[in-house]
Amino acid sequence: MAFFEQPQSVQTGARATEFDAGLRAYMLKIYNYMASALVLTGLVAYFAGTSEAFLGKMISPQGGLTMFAYLVMFAPLGVVFYLSARLHAMSETAAQAWFWGFAAVMGLSMWSVFAVFTGESIARTFFITAGAFGGLSLYGYTTKRDLSGLRSFFVMGMIGLLIASIVNIFMESSPLQFAISLIGVGLFAGLTAYDTQRLKVMYYQLAGYGVEVGKAAIMGALNLYLDFINMFQFLLHFLGDRR
């Protein structure tokens, strides 16, 4: 007795439904990782920025930053480069551990947020960032426009922004900081939409070849987390009230 075979159209429809369900689960996993990392970063930043002992290690008796402070500030950059380069060779459990470690180190590097700005303005800026991020990510997820052509623009923009930010650590120029913050908000707003669309496309590519998407979700969460954190920090320069 021959088995009943579904028509090709039904099989295709079932496959599309399966892909859509997988995509939603994949994106939800990314957002859950990202949200959890933001909570961890916020908690670490709060305790670091309100700890007299920690602040004593960050600020010298003369009022400037110590060498330890610069090490803490640049530590997340080294961790994220290592994680990006070595993720493919890690197990999913190891990748998760590095991801949470990075979120904690990022919290330490953001000690000045709670030391400098009022809690009310931090909360206000956070919710404004969350609203903007949600709208931009939704646009990136739903738009039919191909945003991949903007990749080179975003790469050059990030390199320029990083160089300008490092230079301004030593120059301490207010006009330059204003320009950096303004460009940074626009750059990471665009990256939020771009990265969301890229992650959606990546899922179809990986799932199509039967590749495990667990580590891809961690890397995707890292990208969106960085977009959110950077947008928040740049907005804080405009919206934050200093103590």
**Residues 166-224: pLDDT tens digits?**
888 788 888 999 999 999 999 999 999 999 999 998 888 887 555 568 888 999 999 99
Tally the domains of the chain.
Answer: 1
Does some domain include residue 105? yes
Does some domain include residue 9? no
Q: What CA–CA distances, in Å, run from 228 to 79, 124, 130, 151, 211?
A: 18, 15, 8, 18, 28
What is d(CA 226, CA 72) in angstroms, rounded to the nearest whole number? 17
Strand partners, 194: none
Does some domain include residue 11? no
User: For residue range 131-154, what is the model confidence (pLDDT) as tens digits?
Assistant: 999 999 999 999 999 998 888 999
The answer to whether the CB of 23 falls within 8 A of the CB of 204 is yes
Average per-residue pLDDT in the chain? 88
Helix axes 214-239, 174-208, angle to 10 degrees: 160
Does some domain include residue 57? yes
Is the pTM for the entire model greater than 0.85?
Answer: yes
Percent of the residues in the chain that have a pLDDT greater than 90, as a whole number = 63
Does some domain include residue 44? yes
The average pLDDT across 5-24 equals 62
Given a cut of 90, whether residue 234 has pLDDT beyond it is yes
